[in-house]
Structure 1
């Protein structure tokens, strides 16, 4: 905003400056102390809602009969995997073989919840999960790897997470999985999304499976 000075105003200012006179300011009422500013709301994204339960996977008569059973998320479609011949190698992750995959595409996501079994293996689930992770990572760059001993389905189990970078396609992915002993061997259930974005929206389906696991006697 432009301020205009009149000649009278300039002259008065000059006289006050030369004579050393100044006008005393009018007394002001004391101001009440101001309240501290409110804290900014957290910018962290809200956790996705819990997944609604869909079909049971693993039970007798289900799409995949397994040594464990759990609830798949609503909309996810389970399919038995029977890779034979030249395709058999594609279903292997170290000593583990993919026997069932639950596809997230019908529910609007890109990725799978896969069940892997290593027939005849037993022992500490954490050790087998570590070997599974190494085989799953392969030659990709890995970070934030973690394995923890947990209880799942009322039994000793292990749960792990890891991230990978596929430099060839510049894709960052995040995974999580749990391993447990069954009468047929070690079972690993892995969440395998396309990338880190899909991981966040698909994780509730993994949590649903993990918290509803039942191990066959």
Structure 2
């Protein structure tokens, strides 16, 4: 993912596509965000080979507006297609992307409750 200024990504798939790690509460001090959440998320997904059937939607949580996406990822290593998800928000410090992968679709779905909890409980510090 390319972005101007600080970017944060929490990665859970084992594939390292992170600019920085971020977790917990999202900070709000610093320069204005230069990208909207959808643009950042589209760039994040486009950087991955083997993605199909992307479904984007908007959400709000804790005063933040964001975009989420569910998609299929064709893993050459595992020779299978599996579900993945990600969401993005922009803050005064810049964009943050949280990605949920998993070894396969079953593991992805088992981790979805924690991922959804993180998305629903976002707060600006």
Which has the greater radius of gyration?
Answer: 1
44, 50, 63: which is aligned to 1:132?
44
Deviation at 1:167, TM superposition (A): 3.2
- Partner of 2:34: helix, strand, or coil? coil
Task: Confirm or deny that 1:163 pairs with 2:72.
Answer: yes
Which runs of structure 2 are paired with 1:122-201 in the superposition (5 Å)?
122-135=34-47, 137-138=48-49, 140=50, 142-201=51-110
- The separation in 1 between residues aligned to 2:37 and 2:52, in whole angstroms, is 21
- Partner of 1:172: helix, strand, or coil? strand
RMSD (CA atoms): 2.8
Q: Which residue of 1 aligns with 2:27?
A: none
8 Å Cα contact 1:120-1:186 kept in structure 2: no
8 Å Cα contact 1:161-1:176 kept in structure 2: yes
- The separation in 1 between residues aligned to 2:22 and 2:111, in whole angstroms, is 17
**Structure 1: runs of 5 or more not aligned:** 1-67, 69-89, 102-118
**Structure 2: runs of 5 or more not aligned:** 1-7, 9-14, 24-30
Task: Confirm or deny that 1:99 pairs with 2:21.
Answer: yes
The answer to which structure, 1 or 2, has the higher relative contact order (CA under 8 A, 6+ apart) is: 2
